[in-house]
């Protein structure tokens, strides 16, 4: 199992520049601790997660790192021109010397994004999958012609071509149509912090029913904080989780009236909301060294992870750095 860092660019101090460069500091520390990957989110019109220009942020990370692999978690393809995205992906793969992975998603539960990018929520998924099909052709073929419902082109060749052939692609979804697309094309799966273990297991089962050999590529993001004692870890993480919980519940309430259908965000029958504090704490990797080892082992046993991407839960940069170091010293070699 590879270890990654999940980069959400949280703006806890209402200082976007500080949030951006604190995240850079975390990635650089992660690289020095031999973390394998760094995954960068995409959010729009959001003063808390200040990462709207994912590929720009990844290009900067490519310039200040040497070996850590860089991934998008995830590009919201329905909000972009796929030809331009293909060109940017290929350019970035050259810039980072073939260290690029691409994660994609339809976006949600943020109706403002759909509104301002002119994509109805009921079209986001189909646009995303069609865009990915076109991007794949553009990255590796020449004289590409494509006639889809949303995108068309004729005789297009992009330059440069990526170094990797192919670049690894992951899809964040719990939708049957998207899972089928992912499995048929032998793409990887992604699971975000709100994805429950039961949801993840269901996704893997559906994938394997179509493609029995492809689902060893599962990237799982989880909130994380390890400290010397369980109480210390929980005390440090709770203010972070509480802020996330409050904001996501507000977004989710607004999305209900807009037809959002992100299944992975819906509670399983009889369970609390996936954004409740106690749910987030239970499904995160937070605690003392032994607790964190045990939680990671459970995810490994249940899901056969390729990568675990950790999002350090603290409002304080130094505490985050210390937690990553403790993970490297006393957790990573045991899992």
**How confident is the model over 7-20, as pLDDT tens digits?**
999 999 999 999 99
| 102 in Cβ contact with 80 (< 8 Å) | no
Cβ atoms < 10 Å from Cβ of 301: 9
Chain segment 240-294, per-residue pLDDT in tens: 999 998 888 777 666 665 555 454 444 444 455 677 888 999 999 999 999 999 9
Residue for token digits 């409002």? 315
Domains of the chain: 2-334 (3.20.20.30)
Give me the pLDDT at residue 258, please. 57
What are the φ and ψ backbone dihedral angles of 79, each rounded to 5 degrees? Answer: -105, 10
Cis before 160? omega within 30: yes
What span, in angstroms and rounded, lies between the C-alpha atoms of 79 and 126? 12
pTM of the model as a whole: 0.94
Region 66-93: what's the mean pLDDT?
98
What is the token pair recorded at 124?
A: 């986001």
What are the φ and ψ backbone dihedral angles of 30, each rounded to 5 degrees? Answer: -60, -45
Which residues are CB-contacts of 56 (< 8 A; sequence separation ≥ 6)?
A: none
pLDDT band at 328 (very low <50, low <70, confident <90, very high): very high
| 296 in Cβ contact with 2 (< 8 Å) | no
Give me the pLDDT at residue 271, please. 53
Chain segment 125-134, per-residue pLDDT in tens: 999 999 999 9
Query: Which DSSP string corresponds to 103-161?
Result: EEE---S-HHHHHHTT--GGGHHHHHHHHHHHHHHHHH-SSEEEE-SS-EEEEE--SSP
**Alpha-carbon distances, residue 12 vs 18, 23, 160, 239, 304 (angstroms):** 10, 12, 38, 10, 33
Region 188-215: what's the mean pLDDT?
90
Pairing verdict, β 152-156 and 218-226? unpaired
Which residues are CB-contacts of 305 (< 8 A; sequence separation ≥ 6)?
A: 1, 218, 219, 220, 299
Sign, CA torsion 94/23/329/298:
negative
Computed on alpha carbons and rounded to an integer, the radius of gyration of the chain in Å comes to: 19
∠ CA 72-204-67, nearest 5°, is 30
């Amino acid at each position: 199992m590879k270890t990654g860092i999940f980069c959400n660019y949280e703006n806890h101090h209402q200082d976007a520049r500080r949030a951006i460069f604190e995240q850079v500091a975390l990635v650089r520390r992660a690289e020095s601790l031999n973390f394998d990957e760094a995954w960068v989110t995409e959010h729009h019109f959001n003063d808390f997660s200040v990462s709207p220009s994912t590929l720009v942020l990844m290009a900067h990370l490519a310039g200040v790192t040497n070996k850590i692999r860089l991934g998008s978690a995830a590009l919201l393809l329905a909000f972009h021109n796929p030809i331009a995205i293909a060109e940017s992906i290929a350019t970035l793969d050259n810039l980072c010397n073939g260290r690029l992975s691409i994660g994609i998603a339809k976006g949600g539960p943020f109706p403002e994004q759909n509104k301002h990018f002119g994509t109805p929520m009921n079209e986001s998924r189909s646009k995303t999958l069609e865009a990915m099909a076109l991007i794949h052709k553009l990255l590796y073929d020449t004289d590409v012609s494509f006639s889809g419902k949303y995108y068309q082109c004729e005789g297009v060749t992009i330059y440069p071509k990526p170094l990797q052939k192919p670049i690894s692609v992951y899809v964040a979804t719990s939708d049957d149509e998207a899972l089928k697309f992912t499995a048929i094309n032998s793409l990887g799966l992604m699971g975000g912090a709100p994805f429950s273990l039961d949801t993840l297991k269901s996704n893997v089962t559906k994938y394997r029913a179509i493609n029995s050999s492809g689902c060893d590529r599962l990237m799982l993001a989880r909130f994380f904080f390890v400290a010397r004692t369980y109480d210390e870890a929980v005390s440090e993480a709770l203010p972070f989780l509480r802020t996330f919980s409050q904001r996501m519940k507000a977004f989710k309430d607004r999305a209900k009236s807009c037809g959002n259908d992100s299944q992975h965000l819906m509670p399983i029958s009889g369970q609390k909301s996936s954004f409740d504090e106690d749910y987030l704490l239970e499904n995160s990797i937070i605690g003392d060294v032994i607790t964190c080892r045990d939680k990671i082992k459970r995810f490994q046993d249940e899901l056969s992870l390729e990568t675990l991407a950790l999002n350090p839960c603290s409002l304080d940069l130094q505490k985050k750095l210390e937690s990553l170091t403790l993970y490297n010293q006393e957790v990573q070699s045991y899992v």
